[in-house]
Structures are given as C-alpha cells and as structure tokens.
Amino acid sequence: MSLRGYQSDAIDCLDKSWSDGLLRLGIGLPTGTGKTHVMTELAARTAAAGQHVWILLHRDQLVIQTEAKMREHAPPGRTVGVVQGDRNVTMANIVVVSVHTLGSPKRLHAMRPPDLVIVDEAHVSMSPTYDRIFERYPNARFAGFTATWTRSDKRELGDRWQKIVFQRSIRWAIREGFLVPPRGVSVGAPEDLLDGVRTRGGDYVKSDLGAAVSVDAMRSNISRGYLEHGEGRSAVLFAPTRASAEYFREGLLSAGISAAGIYAGTSPRDRRLIFDAYRKRQVSVLTTCTALAEGWDAPWCSVALMARPTKHKGLYIQQVGRVLRPWPGKSDALVLDFVGAAEGMSLNLEAILRESMPDDPDADELEDERDPLEVGDNELTFKLVKGTKPVDLFAGTPAQWQSTDLGVNFVATKSHLYFLCPVDDTWSVGICSINDIRSGRWLRQGVSAEDALNYASIVAVDDDYTHAASDAVWRKGKISDAQVRQARSIGCPIFPEDRRGDLSDRLTWRQACVTLRSVGVTING
C-alpha cells in the first residue's frame, strides 16, 4: 500500500518508541486523513515479519470495513480472520476483533496471544473489556488510533496509554489539502433550549436532550434550514437519541426532503440498502444519533445538520469531521447549527492523556510536531456567521476532477477518462477511451470511496500529467485560438474570466457526459 509522507512518519514514530522500550503508544490523525491506511499498513508489515496482530474495533460496521480492507492488503501467505459473534478465526495472522465479543472471558482466554494490538477509536479504550485485554497481555505492543485523544468523563487516557508519539491537526490537514474547509451557519438556536437539561459524566443527559429538542419549532427549522442553505447537497443529521432523530426525519420527509435513518440497531441488510440509495442521491439526508459519528466513509457528504448540543469537544469534532473529507466538486463542508452546538467549541484539539500533565522531558520534540498556526490569534475557532459565503477551494487529490450531468466523477487525459462507480457497498475505478465507453475496463474493484478516489487520481496523473493534473502550469494561461474555434463549433460558452484550464474542462465535460452516460451498464468485465 502506498502511504502519504505523514502516514509513513507515524509508523516510524511508533517503531522508534517501541524500540526505546515503551509499549502502549498513540497516534492522533484527524478524521478523513487516512488513519485506517496507517493501521492496515502497520498490521501488514507486522504480519509479514511473522508476528500475530489483533485489530480491536468497537462497532460492528467497522469490523466489516476493516476486514475487507485487510484482506485486500494482507501480505502474501498471511491469513486474515474475524472474531465477532459466531465467527471465531483466532489463529489467523491478522485477526479483526470485535471488542464486545471479547467481553466474554471465555472468548478472550481462547485467543492466540498477540504481538501487536491495534486499537481503533482509542479514546473509548477505558471500559472493563479493554481493561481485561491490557491486563492479560502486559508485554504486547499496543498502538491506539483516534482523531480525538480526549474524554468527557473523569477517566484519564494516561492510565492506559504511555505517550502520543505522532499527531496532526485539522487545520494542518485543511492547509495541506487533505480535508476541505468547514463553513458554519447558525440557524435560529433557541436561547432557553438547555434549561432543565441535566449533566452526567461530563456531558448532557441524552434523554433530557432528546426531549428538549423534539419540538415542532425545531423540526420545522431544520427542514427550512436545509432547504435554504444545503438543498441539493448530501447531508447527515446528528440528534441526541434515536427517537429525536426519527422525529426530525419525519419532519424532513413532510417537507419533501428524502431522508433515512441509520442507528446502532439498523440491520446490515437495511444499512446496505440505505447507503446504496444515499450514494445514488435517492436519499438526501441520513439521520442518526451516534452510529455515524465514527468510522463512516461517505466523502461526498458535505452538510452536517447539528441537532445535538454537547459539552464534549471530542464528540463535536467527530461529528463535524464526518463532512470534511474531500470529494470531486466539493469545495467546503457546511455545518448548519440549530442548537448552538458550536458555542465554545473549536476544531483544534490537543491530545490529552492527563488533565494535569507534569513537565514533559520530550516537550521540545512534541513542540516540533505542532502546527504553528494552531495557537494564539490564529486558532481555528469554529465561528458561526449567518450567511457566510463558501470558500472556493477544491482540495484533496492531485487530479483535476469533474462530475457529469448524471453525477459520474471523472478525470480526463488526452485519450482516456478515469471514472468512479459505486458497486454494492464499495466503489470501482474504471477507464475508457474518451470517446467510447465500450472500450472500458475496471482498474480496481471493491474498495472504499477514499481508496477509489486516491487510486484513480494517481493513475490518471501518472498516465498524463499535462492533462490530468490540477496544478499543471498551462491551466492558468490564456485560452487558445484552437479552443475558441472548438467551443464555437459546438456552442460551448466562453466567459471573459476564463483561463485555458477553465475552457478545457468545459469542453471535456461535454464529451464526458455523452461517453459516461451508461456507466455501470455497458462497462466490460
């Protein structure tokens, strides 16, 4: 697997600290910057060296996703197994493990001892089940991954983890083009919303919140707000409880907005059907409480409807992070706040292992890892301004992506079109002649949306940098006489501000709309 530079650096930091004698280490990467890639590569390298690896996950959907990715990238001759429910492949080289299944001491004791335990969403690793795992294997190496090294309760992550050896910020990821910038709009949050809502464990009591927000005025405001600011964009709504999420879903449906709910108890079959409809834009809004706050991969989603107040900065960032992933044509992430969720919040989040940390002998080393723009007046505070204009920025890949009139995302070279197509629960990357879909074939199938996007970008730019790269110098030049003649011959509009790249994209777009109209139907196997 090809890693970005910072992803390789993260693994190098783990290896160095393990060689120095530390065992329980943490990595902090913002949502959408590929921590799963790092986990997969780390597991593959360790298994290739003949060692036994566990990958601990606390949600069933994450087990499914991680198993698929691990099977794709497992080293030759190494096996992948799953321990979850009635699946019990404990002797594989790499075992994808449901933490809840290991809640049974019998299942835990039957496991083959690990050399390395990779813990996803490590901020939740303070439960009794994790206690038993850490206590049973005190000499194993542990690597914890999360976007939010913090908790809302009084349990300190420093009781479990020795050191955060590598971290990057959301601001850094946006500046580097790995995430899109957020844009917040406050949409009529009532001032007395939290009157009478109790606090427990460092955050608001969910049942109290559910009752507080489930009022007709709130439901109507959410539907109006989405239609005014986010209509036509795929969205996710976060509510305090399943009941309140369903209440808002019914309001969206009554307003003519297609919506479906995804919850912890949603069956795998229903989840697949809903996600398929969501990808095809048959569903505009997914409603949820916590089921989509972690480990959910839908980078085309660009609107977060915030209907859950929280005191927990980590939860807030996990939710907002769901819409920050880059996608072709996605210039920003819109966060519509109906409950004042952003009040006092920031998208900066330092790793916190202990609330009162002693002097750190490695302070200078950690300081080098920090983004100098994260402090002082430049802090990335999430400010909400009514009617803020979107930031005109497409980020995330080296390729010049476009989307046809039917929503097929593609990159054009001089001779070919590279395009993305959803198939069942995964994505495929195809290539065809720029004039003929019948010449097409699949380059990669059965991968995540992020993997498909990154792979297609790389192969397109490698094939023809001049035409496919978004930063090619010629794109900023004046339009040519040949372009003008071609545009006039087919009735393609030319605007005074056009640069050469703008008109080239418009001309290519017309041909791609014709060629890719039947994607998914006539493409050859």
Residues 374 and 446 in one domain: no
Residues 227 and 294 in one domain: yes
What pLDDT, on a 0 to 100 scale, did the predictor assign at position 150?
67
CATH of the domain at 244: 3.40.50.300
The answer to whether the CB of 234 falls within 8 A of the CB of 250 is no
Quickly list DSSP for 194-228.
TTT--EETTEE-HHHHHHHH-SHHHHHHHHHHIII
Q: Indicate whether 391 belongs to any domain.
A: no
Query: Cα separation of 132 and 107, whole Å?
Result: 12
Residues 81 and 155 in one domain: yes
Q: Indicate whether 174 belongs to any domain.
A: no
What pLDDT, on a 0 to 100 scale, did the predictor assign at position 391?
24
As given in the structure block, the two tokens for residue 34 are 């590929």
What pLDDT, on a 0 to 100 scale, did the predictor assign at position 304?
94
Q: Which ranges in 4-75 belong to alpha helices (H)?
A: 5-19, 35-48, 60-73
Residues 152 and 233 in one domain: no
Query: Cα separation of 75 and 181, whole Å?
Result: 36
Q: Indicate whether 384 belongs to any domain.
A: no
Domain count for the chain: 3
Q: Indicate whether 319 belongs to any domain.
A: yes
DSSP-assigned beta bridge partners for residue 200: 203
Query: Cα separation of 280 and 282, whole Å?
Result: 5
Question: How many other β-carbons are positioned within 10 Å of the β-carbon of residue 90?
Answer: 16
Residues 318 and 461 in one domain: no
Residues 232 and 338 in one domain: yes
Q: Indicate whether 436 belongs to any domain.
A: yes
Of the candidates 179, 160, 163, the one whose C-alpha atom is nearest the C-alpha of residue 171 is 179
Residues 157 and 24 in one domain: yes
Gyration radius of the chain over CA positions: 24
What pLDDT, on a 0 to 100 scale, did the predictor assign at position 390?
27
Q: Indicate whether 231 belongs to any domain.
A: yes
Residues 17 and 112 in one domain: yes
**What do you get for the CA distance between the two ends of the chain, in Å?**
24
Residues 195 and 128 in one domain: no
- Sheet containing 416-423, strands listed edge to edge, beginning at the edge strand earlier in sequence: 401-403, 409-412, 416-423, 426-433, 436-447
Residues 186 and 161 in one domain: no
Q: β-strands 87-88, 80-84: how paired?
A: antiparallel
- CA geometry: angle 362, 367, 372, nearest 5 deg: 175
List Cβ neighbours of 172 (8 Å cut-off, separation of 6 or more). 30, 371, 373, 374
Query: Cα separation of 376 and 396, whole Å?
Result: 27
Residues 210 and 326 in one domain: yes
Residue with tokens 């720029």: 434
Q: Indicate whether 395 belongs to any domain.
A: no
Domain end call among 109, 133, 168: 168
Residues 64 and 206 in one domain: no
As given in the structure block, the two tokens for residue 21 are 């004698």
The answer to whether the CB of 181 falls within 8 A of the CB of 174 is yes
Per-residue pLDDT of the chain (525 residues; tens, 9 = 90+): 688 999 999 999 999 999 999 999 999 898 888 888 999 999 999 999 999 999 999 877 788 888 989 999 999 999 999 999 889 999 999 999 998 888 888 888 889 999 999 999 888 888 888 889 999 999 999 999 988 776 655 556 777 888 888 888 787 888 788 898 888 888 877 777 888 888 887 788 888 888 988 889 899 999 999 999 998 899 999 999 999 999 999 999 999 999 999 998 888 889 889 989 999 999 999 999 876 655 577 899 999 999 998 887 778 888 888 899 999 888 889 989 888 877 766 565 444 444 332 232 222 222 222 222 222 222 323 233 333 222 222 235 678 888 887 778 899 998 899 999 887 778 889 999 988 888 888 888 888 877 788 888 888 887 787 788 887 778 888 898 888 998 888 888 888 888 888 899 889 988 898 888 877 444 443
Query: Against a cut of 0.85, is the pTM above it?
Result: no
Q: Is the dihedral of CA 142, 147, 151, 156 positive or negative?
A: positive
For residue 402, report the phi and psi dihedrals to the nearest 5 degrees: -135, 170
Q: Indicate whether 340 belongs to any domain.
A: yes
Domain range enclosing 145: 5-168
Query: Cα separation of 480 and 493, whole Å?
Result: 14
